[in-house]
């Protein structure tokens, strides 16, 4: 009877894990990738469609079209419920329970999440900076978000027409076509990342991405500095830019959001992930605003040599500070950060999988 009970419990646990993985895919970092793919492609396609209009009209329409998604999101906010945690903090218990019942599989799961939302609030800043393990998590999460941007992806994408012009493309139609090629490359390889992230794991994709970006950025620097304008320079510039975008989109671009959503404990995940996102956006703004000024001072090629060096540093950062989180529970990930070696193989952590991440009634 005991063996039968254990077999039944194992079967039930596997079923719950499958449901949990599906929810994690939709709600977590990978769900963000799925939502991002059509948005990117539609942006490039709409710009291409409006490019044929008169010059004094087309750019206005390109900007105006961006209002439509904002209007949709604004209308959707009227039907999106408040988070259960906030409702509990406002002592609106019945509403919190109602929201949980709509977003969970059964009453027992909703009750468990409800209890989790009633935990006593602590100082998040103090808790993030106190234990060494949490400090390491914060360095990893914040660092990978910053490296995602300071390797120059926004400069490559935002200023790709200017880069191609430096390589020798003068015709506006050809410039637009090359820019669309960059957008299509980004869209395709984000789809590739979605397919590979749970097969290869997070860290192998990060290695492929950062090493590939380092090579492509160095190649682009050589192309703009040595080859100059001409058919060969144009070919290598397009290949280098599209290669850089491809390696970014298959690895550090999407994977950094997945890793950030996995490494932090549940009680600190929202605040720590938000801090990482702040670092990401600040670095993005700094790169976007300074790229042209720096390029005027040291040339476009010089800027990409710098980005290549930073990308090489990101390879070392991944090697030393980013653990493999594929197939690991929160407890296993936390144990990795309690050691000095974050590069352990998956089989070296001998903790059992956790059936429930929050306390149940």
Look at 18-22, 56-60, 221-225, 282-286 and tell me which has the smallest mean pLDDT: 18-22
Which range among 71-80, 171-180, 215-224 has the greatest average pLDDT?
A: 215-224
Q: Tell me: the pLDDT tens digits for 228-240?
A: 777 888 888 889 9
> Averaged over 220-232, what is the pLDDT?
85
Long-range own/partner contacts, residues 73-82 (CB < 8 A, 24 or more apart) = none
- Provide CB contacts within 8 A for 80, sequence distance 6+: none
Residue 306 pLDDT > 90, yes or no?
A: yes
Tell me the C-alpha distance between 236 and 221, whole Å: 10
Residue 2 pLDDT > 70, yes or no?
A: no
Residue 314 pLDDT > 50, yes or no?
A: yes
Tell me the C-alpha distance between 248 and 321, whole Å: 19
Q: How far is CA 111 from CA 12, 23, 93, 96, 223, in A?
A: 18, 17, 12, 11, 60
Q: How far is CA 253 from CA 48, 79, 193, 221, in A?
A: 24, 31, 9, 21
Q: What is the pLDDT of residue 347?
A: 38
pLDDT above 70: percentage of residues in the chain:
71
Please name the helix (run of DSSP H) or strand (run of DSSP E) that holds residue 255, with its range, or none.
helix 252-263
Please name the helix (run of DSSP H) or strand (run of DSSP E) that holds residue 138, with its range, or none.
helix 132-150
Place of tokens 């009680």: 267
Q: What is the pLDDT of residue 329?
A: 73
- Report the candidate in 192, 177, 165, 181 with the shortest Cα–Cα distance to residue 242: 181
Q: What is the pLDDT of residue 32?
A: 53
How many beta carbons lie within 10 A of that of residue 27, not counting itself? Answer: 12
Specify burial of residue 128 (Cβ count, 10 A radius: 0-12, 13-18, 19+): middle
Specify burial of residue 148 (Cβ count, 10 A radius: 0-12, 13-18, 19+): buried
Rounded mean pLDDT of the chain?
A: 75
pLDDT above 90: percentage of residues in the chain:
19
Q: What is the pLDDT of residue 201?
A: 85
Residue 51 pLDDT > 80, yes or no?
A: no
Q: Tell me: the pLDDT tens digits for 63-119?
A: 787 788 788 888 888 877 777 777 777 777 777 777 777 765 555 444 544 444 444
> Averaged over 125-149, what is the pLDDT?
80
Query: Which tokens belong to 140?
Result: 């990893």
304 against 31, higher pLDDT = 304
Query: Which tokens belong to 72?
Result: 């949709």
Q: Tell me: the pLDDT tens digits for 145-174?
A: 999 999 989 888 888 888 888 888 877 777
Do residues 137 and 266 lie in contact, with contact meaning Cβ atoms separated by under 8 Å?
no
351 against 208, higher pLDDT = 208
> pLDDT band at residue 247, thresholds of 50, 70 and 90?
very high
Do residues 194 and 38 lie in contact, with contact meaning Cβ atoms separated by under 8 Å?
no
Q: Tell me: the pLDDT tens digits for 191-215?
A: 888 888 888 888 899 999 999 999 9
Q: What is the pLDDT of residue 312?
A: 95
Q: What is the pLDDT of residue 322?
A: 87
Q: What is the pLDDT of residue 283?
A: 92
Do residues 355 and 13 lie in contact, with contact meaning Cβ atoms separated by under 8 Å?
yes
């Amino acid at each position: 009877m005991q063996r039968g009970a254990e077999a039944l419990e194992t079967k039930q646990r596997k079923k719950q894990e499958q449901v949990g993985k599906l929810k994690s895919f939709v709600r977590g970092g990978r769900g963000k990738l799925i939502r991002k793919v059509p948005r990117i492609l539609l942006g490039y396609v709409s710009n291409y469609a409006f490019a044929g209009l008169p010059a004094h009209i087309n750019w206005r329409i390109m900007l105006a079209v961006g209002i439509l998604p904002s209007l949709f999101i604004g209308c959707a906010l009227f039907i999106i419920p408040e988070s259960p945690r906030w409702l509990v903090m406002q002592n609106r218990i019945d509403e919190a329970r109602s929201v949980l019942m709509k977003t969970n599989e059964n009453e027992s799961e909703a009750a468990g999440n409800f209890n989790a939302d009633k935990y006593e609030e602590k100082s998040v800043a103090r808790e993030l900076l106190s234990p060494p393990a949490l400090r390491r998590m914060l360095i990893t999460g914040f660092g990978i978000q910053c490296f995602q941007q300071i390797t120059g992806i926004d400069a490559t994408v935002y200023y790709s027409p200017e880069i191609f012009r430096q390589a020798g493309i003068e015709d506006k139609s050809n410039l637009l076509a090359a820019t669309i090629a960059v957008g299509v490359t980004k869209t395709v390889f984000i789809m590739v990342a979605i397919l590979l992230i749970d097969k290869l794991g997070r860290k192998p994709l990060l290695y492929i991405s950062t090493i590939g970006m380092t090579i492509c950025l160095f190649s682009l620097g050589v192309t703009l500095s040595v080859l100059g304008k001409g058919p060969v320079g144009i070919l290598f510039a397009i290949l280098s830019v599209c290669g850089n975008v491809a390696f970014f989109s298959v690895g550090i671009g999407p994977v950094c959001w997945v890793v950030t959503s996995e490494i932090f404990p549940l009680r600190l995940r929202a605040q720590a992930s938000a801090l990482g996102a702040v670092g990401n956006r600040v670095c993005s703004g700094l790169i976007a605003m300074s790229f042209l000024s720096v390029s005027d001072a040291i040339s476009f090629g010089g800027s990409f040599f710098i980005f290549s060096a930073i990308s090489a540093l990101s390879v070392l950062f991944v090697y030393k500070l980013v653990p493999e989180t594929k197939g690991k529970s929160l407890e296993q990930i936390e144990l990795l950060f309690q050691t000095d070696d974050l590069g352990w193989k998956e089989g070296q952590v001998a903790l059992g999988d956790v059936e429930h991440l929050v306390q149940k009634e």
